[in-house]
Amino acid sequence: MREPILAENLAPYSALSSTHDTINGLCDALEAVADSLPGNVDRQSCRCLSQTLIPLLERAQQREERQVFPTVRLRSAPASAFERLKNEHFEDLCVAEEASEVLARLARDEEVNKEAAGYLLRGLFTMLRRHIAFESQFVSGLKPPQ
């Protein structure tokens, strides 16, 4: 009887850990492209990242909003904190869309302002890392007593 309850309590934290692993992987890939600018760009990596960035980020954010937030919200967390996290999801996704277009242009070897591209990519992975650090700290602070 105790194990299903424990599994149910830990499920949102496991889901969050999984989504953050995905986003960390995207951040590492974005950083690798940014580091390769201006003259050492791997066009195949840019193509792959331009195609996967939005779907992976969107899926991770949706999973958090559907499987994590509703469960931990029941633990008397302030609604404003969840609104902040959801707003950050939206902002991150907007910047990711812009980054995805730039990555596609780099993949096609089209003219791109490399300095602006580097700034955009670095801005995105910095935002994403900041978001998951806050989200992780906030949600783990709501963990039920073991």
Is residue 5 helix, strand or coil? helix
**Residue with smaller CB distance to Fe ion, 31 or 58:** 58
CA dihedral 130, 136, 139, 141 (to 10 degrees): -100
64 counts as binding Fe ion under rule CB under 5 A: yes
Q: Which is nearer to Fe ion, 29 or 139 (CB)?
A: 139
What is the distance between the alpha carbons of residues 118 and 113, in angstroms, rounded to a whole number? 9
What character string, x for contact with Fe ion (CB under 5 A) and - otherwise, covers 100-119?
--------------------
**Span from 27-35, 39-47, 60-68, 93-101 in contact with Fe ion (CB under 5 A):** 60-68
Q: Which is nearer to Fe ion, 85 or 112 (CB)?
A: 85
